Structure 1
């Protein structure tokens, strides 16, 4: 009887970790020759998260989206910001502010742990999904964030669209100087890590991913030379032999390794604008089509797929994106959007259908 109880507890724990709507986001950072920092990420989920671009001017009054309105922080945005929301909520899960600070929220299932609601922290409490907007609204650089990241307290906030659980998130930040950190809510407290390589994935914790890189220190972008065994000379079959052994599946550890390899081996281009295109090319390696990743629960099949991909130019302060239904790249100039918003929160629709251009008789 005791063994059955233990097995039941383990099964429940695994079910929580393997939530069918768990996303598989991946993030990278490149730096151009002109010093421009460009950040890329994918947003994967088991359903369309109905994202739109949210434009939030400086001076906007913001409040926590906690269900319990007796708790939660209220504040006025010091800086304007632009980014993607989810599920029609007044949040930013990926975006940039007018000073060139970027934040991206990534799923962190099985590890995210939030503080217990308490009257002592009620005035500083935020739902996890509110954290991105709070960061962008109040800080201009990673250095400022490092001094203030734990001034907000993240507490649970059930969301019905993900099974009534709280958003289990951790966060990556970059600024226009190239500085980067990862912030993780673990054991009901906030931990922060410097992130000199600029990569990001999902569970487990960031320090685990860094340690895991030691398993792949043999990887190189340079093809391996021929090897002679006795009188036989063995040469490569083709290109890419330096990366033989790189993990190719869509699990978070494998994607993290690939993100580090592809971003570190990327050719440095002259400008941030050119690098933005390069980031989208690299993110192609993490694009998940419907059907490639699935979770089966009885008669139900859940598919994770790349709902959208973004790239943020922190030099020219632009946030660009493409979606599953439209692979064309659309860009938002953050300062121009904020100026055009007239001091009010505005929405730019992300969903669209990509046209197919027929060029059968468009001869040169």
Structure 2
């Protein structure tokens, strides 16, 4: 039930931001994975990272592999996973001669083995996502992914059947089901704009919505969260450098899902575990957990990429 956006501010700085909404799990922590990190896919194939990674991850009990929800690598590309229930299509079994991954492996592969979005797009046709659990976790999760880089480009990968492809996302926003094109159609319908593409009319209508102080869509429904964030992003004048990080966290706070202690043992209780912002130009990871709301700013430095040889799990609090 996550909400995410990419953003380019007035001084052409590029950012990725998201809420991490998920049922109760092993705690999520800021996590660093080094170059040459050996890891095992959910299909028991060994791979090795070529790029250092910093992002939001967890190390499930009894599993020696990190599960990453989002992150940036040392080349400045980001990748994050969000839910896409009732729309994904995974292969029933591994396909001979292809690169077979479980859905939870995808971020480690993208960030650990690529230096550009073009390289990811070039490699996608050989990837097969397989309908198999990740290291005996109980579920196969229905994901789609959003990728971005220091050029401000935003790509979305939705495994809905056929070879994987990366589609450009001009809205810069992603939530959960439905698929991206349907989100565009729903947004334009709300704004009174024809068609299913994000265009100048969409932006003008979003600006008018905010200027006229109409209430933004609310609630946990993915369509409402997409429309809320898209109107904020498309309709707000470009932010200054000083405004950007605080404003992005404010926008994320508007769509966060509350934690209910009475429901903490329910498998279906989705809530916002953390909010994060990635500065794609400075390679900095901003992490704010639900528990303490303390903001951490962790850089992915050249020294870390070159010299740190073991994974590091930072305290969430």
TM-score normalised by length of structure 2: 0.85
Structure of greater Rg: 1
| Distance in 1, Cα, partners of 2:67 & 2:22 | 17
Determine helix, strand or coil for the equivalent of 1:349. Answer: coil
- The residue correspondences of 1:188-337 to structure 2 (distance < 5 A) are 189-218=163-192, 219-222=205-208, 242-244=212-214, 246-271=216-241, 274-291=243-260, 302-335=268-301
**Aligned residue-pair number:** 301
Partners of 1:141 and 1:185 lie apart in 2 by: 20
Q: Secondary structure at the match of 1:165?
A: coil
Correspondence 1:178-189 to 2 at 5 A = 178-187=152-161, 189=163
Q: What is the distance in 1 between the residues matched to 2:178 and 2:134? A: 22
**Does the aligned pair in 1 maintain the 2:31–2:58 contact within 8 Å?**
no
Match of 1:166 among 140, 143, 146: 140
Q: Distance in 1 between matches of 2:70 and 2:267?
A: 28
Q: d(CA) in 1 for partners of 2:13 and 2:111?
A: 19
Q: Which residue of 2 aligns with 1:90?
A: 66
Structure 1 residues 241-280: Cα deviation after superposition (integer angstroms, max 9, x where no partner): 7253642222011111111111112332333x64222211
Task: Give 1:283 deviation, angstroms.
Answer: 0.7
Secondary structure class of the residue paired with 2:281: coil
1:116 aligns with 2:116: no
Structure 2 alignment gaps of length 5 or more: 193-204
Cα distance in 2, alignment partners of residues 25 and 112 from structure 1: 17
* Distance (whole Å) between structure 1 residues aligned to residue 297 and residue 227 of structure 2: 28
Q: Distance in 2 between matches of 1:266 and 1:34?
A: 15
Pair 25,119 (structure 1): closer, same or farther in 2 beyond 3 Å: closer
Question: 1:77/1:87 Cα in 2 relative to 1: closer, same or farther (>3 Å)?
Answer: closer
Select which of 42, 49, 65 maps to 2:42.
65
User: What does residue 16 of structure 1 align with?
Assistant: none
Q: CA deviation at 1:53?
A: 2.1
- Residues 36 and 45 of structure 1, relative CA distance in 2, 3 Å threshold: same
Q: CA, structure 1 residues 291+343, in 2 after alignment: closer, same or farther (shift >3 Å)? A: closer
1:221–1:243 Cα contact (<8 Å) kept? no
- CA RMSD in angstroms comes to 2.8
Match of 1:47 in 2: 24
Change (3 A) 1:178 1:118: same
CA contact (8 A) 1:41 1:311 kept: yes
Runs of 4+ in 1 over 6 A off after TM superposition: none
What's the offset of the Cα at 1:107? 1.1
Question: CA offsets, 1:116-157, max 9 Å, x none?
Answer: 223514x62111111001000122222222222233221122
Contact 1:220–1:243 (CA<8 Å) still a contact in 2? no
Tell me how far 1:62 sits from its aligned partner. 2.8
| Contact 1:60–1:344 (Cα < 8 Å) also in 2 | yes
Matched with 1:80 is 52
Mapped partners of 2:52, 2:107: distance in 1: 13
1:345-364 → structure 2 map (5 Å cutoff): 345-350=311-316, 352=317
TM-score calculated relative to the size of structure 1: 0.75
Partner in structure 1 of residue 195 of structure 2: none
